[in-house]
Structure 1
């Protein structure tokens, strides 16, 4: 029986040798992609839907948690100036509704924070925001 000694360190080409001589291309291929807006919430929503088959009570709890997270996405999107729900929510009316609820809450809170009637010294409620 004949065996051949192979140097493992030199047997495989380095990634830069396989990709070619363009070092800029190697940098682009090795960078991480930015996360998609709403991806984590959408994945959790899908997992909660699957949980319905396994445990209905736990599924309801998980759905409530995910809807709360979708509201928080809307709240943060308002403050970052993004008026459009994440594309990852587009196939779920519940997630869109929760996102809009969070966005609307943030918009209302921002409006009240800037309202002179809400911050009057006389203590009477603002006629618009009471």
Structure 2
């Protein structure tokens, strides 16, 4: 009788251990899932920042290009610093879209013609000014 009682206690201990490790596994999986979700949300936040920065560069470049087009080319020297800023923004825009092409393709929907338009504006700036 004593032997069967010890055997039953051992089985209970084994059951407790297995439940404890099962709980530990579930807890571990939950922590892993939470870390993965945190990393995913961090990645999504990074991608959102990339798209926002690209849109900012794009809008600024368009404003500067249109403003440059409206300035007189001859006579006044006020177009030269404006040209420098415009060319710098287009250069940053070009480098930025090259560095983040995959994110911009997936999240912004960047098309080849839009990249060509940026290159065309850089060419126009280089040729005309």
**Same fold (TM > 0.5):** no
Q: Which has the higher contact order (CA 8 A, sep 6+)?
A: 2
Larger-gyration structure (1/2): 2
TM-score with structure 1 setting the length: 0.33
TM-score (ref. length: structure 2): 0.33
Which structure's residues are more often helix, by fraction?
2
